[in-house]
Structure 1
Amino acid sequence: LTETIKALDADGVVQLKARATDLLQRVGLPDPERILRQYPHQLSGGMRQRVMIALAIAGRPELLIADEPTTALDVSVQKDILELLRRLTHEENMTLILVSHDLGVIAAATQSVAVMYAGMVVERGPTDTVLRQPRHPYTQALLKARPTIGRTGRLIGIPGAPASPDTWPSGCRFAPRCPHADNKCDAKIPTLETIGGGHVVACHRLHESSVLDLSKKDLLSS
């Protein structure tokens, strides 16, 4: 931590330790002087994640990119980490880009969301709108595959397998796995189309009833 601060600020040794201690306090770690003397294996997973966040904000960034920040953490620790990130973005006046495969984390911690498949954004908009009224077949499939309390039976998986970059189709990249794909989907990459309220979707069959009907149900709560 002090090495990172030194590389960023070039402060003296005393200032380095004071700054490191302050950062550890700000990310909610008790007894920061003791933690500064410890090795990573002596800390819990949640504590290590807080140290990583301290490292990330040491340079006072305007943009913080958090890639799967809650992976391998239990639910209670996940909640604490998300609350910490939310607090720091306000205190530091930062923008947060959160990368995650956990739709619950996305729902709890973001204001807007972009859904990507095979390197392309297929749907983007306010988080609540996208997750409750998904319009792209991939977003719909993700939500249907999500386990929820009260749901019984088998989860609905997405057929097929993600293509590697050297075998991406010439048209919509989700077409080989999409139940609604037709010849146009196979031939041409769809562009993002605005459907209102900052909600945009890339799907050739966006306005057809076979796709639209699936979005009328609140998939986030079901």
Structure 2
Amino acid sequence: MKHYLAITGLVTAMACTAPDDDVYRSYFGEAGSLVDGGSFGHASMQNHLAMTGQADHVIDLANRFASEVPSTVNFAFDSAALDEEARNALREQARWIKQFPEVRFRVYGHTDAVGPDAYNKALGMRRAQAVVGFLVSQGISRSRLEAVASFGATQPLVVTQGRERRNRRTVTEVTGFVQSHPDIMDGKYAAVVYREFVNSARPATTVRLTGAVTELDN
């Protein structure tokens, strides 16, 4: 009986202090140390992706998006207004999204820890909706964008009870494929993932020499 109790206590202690516990590390590890492995969204979506062979491709595409464009924008205290820095980041997101028309996205809204939970959840949702609205204004179909699951102050990037701009943010993530798209109906997931991203909305500046006059084309 003593051996049984000792083993049980050891297992319990290991479970409580396991360094690989995502929740433990996200709150008590160094900010940024917890990397999203693609486990976003609800369980039924994950099951569907796994059963249809999409899961690995979605994760690869999500990692591409996060590495090639800024996926996070920040907000002023108690505000859902997009400043110029946020709009510039979202223009980068829009350029990327336009060149991958087979892909769907979600925007998650977050706040810092100041204020009541219910108010923060509503504020986080307004921030997510503001981002979706701006992306739509850039020519992205609203059917490919979803403002959902505001986390309020429950998933801070920096653990603090005070005002923290880095916690007042939205995060845009790849969540899956548009099932009605011809490429996806043919199962060409890998072709989408490894397509070259060409920043076609911003052509490079060229120089033309005409006699003694130099012209700049922007």
TM-score with structure 1 length normalisation?
A: 0.29
